[in-house]
Amino acid sequence: MERHAANLLGRPLRQTLQFDTDLDTRSGGGQAWETTIRQLLRSLQQNPELVAHPLMRAQFEQLIMSGLLVWQGNSLSESLGKPEPEVLPRHLKVAEDYMRAHLDSAITNEQLAELTGISLRTLYNSFRKFRGVSPMRYLRDLRMEKVRQELLDTGKLRNVTSVATRWGFFELGRFAAEYRKRYGESPSDTLKRVP
């Protein structure tokens, strides 16, 4: 059981596995686990050949152990209940790195898909899933951050129009509204704030 728990966690156990002494089979997880076991036993009584094959036997054992680990309180419940962190796909990192390195260049979804070797749909879905926005919205956000940094940089001669257009914002009214929404002040107010 401890070996199975370690496999579920993807790491060696740091403590001995200990179960709570009570298992409430009248409700919640305890009831679900008991129902699963009863159904499994009925199936095995009707079809004993199900466990004749070692692979099937191992699958049934894992089902029983996983159910008990998840539905019966134990010393690993907190660790087992945490969602596993999702690994950022390589293609998303490549796309983001490319965007950051080429913020002042024209970038399209098609270029990013070709660069990363994935379809447009996969590119879009990856950005939605991991960043909560489309690829072009992500790029726009990166560029908006650059505008803000440049407006706050006292070492540069700057004006709002030149900074905005340098980072790809040519519709200045829309840019100013988006900037205000994001930072709580207009771009010109940011510029005035910096001595």
Q: Domains in the chain, start-ordered, CATH in brackets?
A: 2-81 (no CATH), 90-193 (1.10.10.60)
Report which of 160, 168, 156 is spatially closest to residue 186, judged by C-alpha positions: 160
What's the pLDDT tens digit per position in 70-102?
Answer: 888 889 888 887 766 677 899 999 999 999 999
Rounded mean pLDDT of 126-132? 91
Query: What's the confidence (pLDDT) of residue 84?
Result: 63
Tokens of 102: 């080429």
Query: What's the confidence (pLDDT) of residue 4?
Result: 85
What's the pLDDT tens digit per position in 144-181?
Answer: 999 999 998 877 767 899 999 989 999 999 999 999 99
CA distances in angstroms from 88 to 9, 32, 94, 118, 127, listed in the order given = 19, 34, 10, 15, 10
Rounded mean pLDDT of 59-72? 85
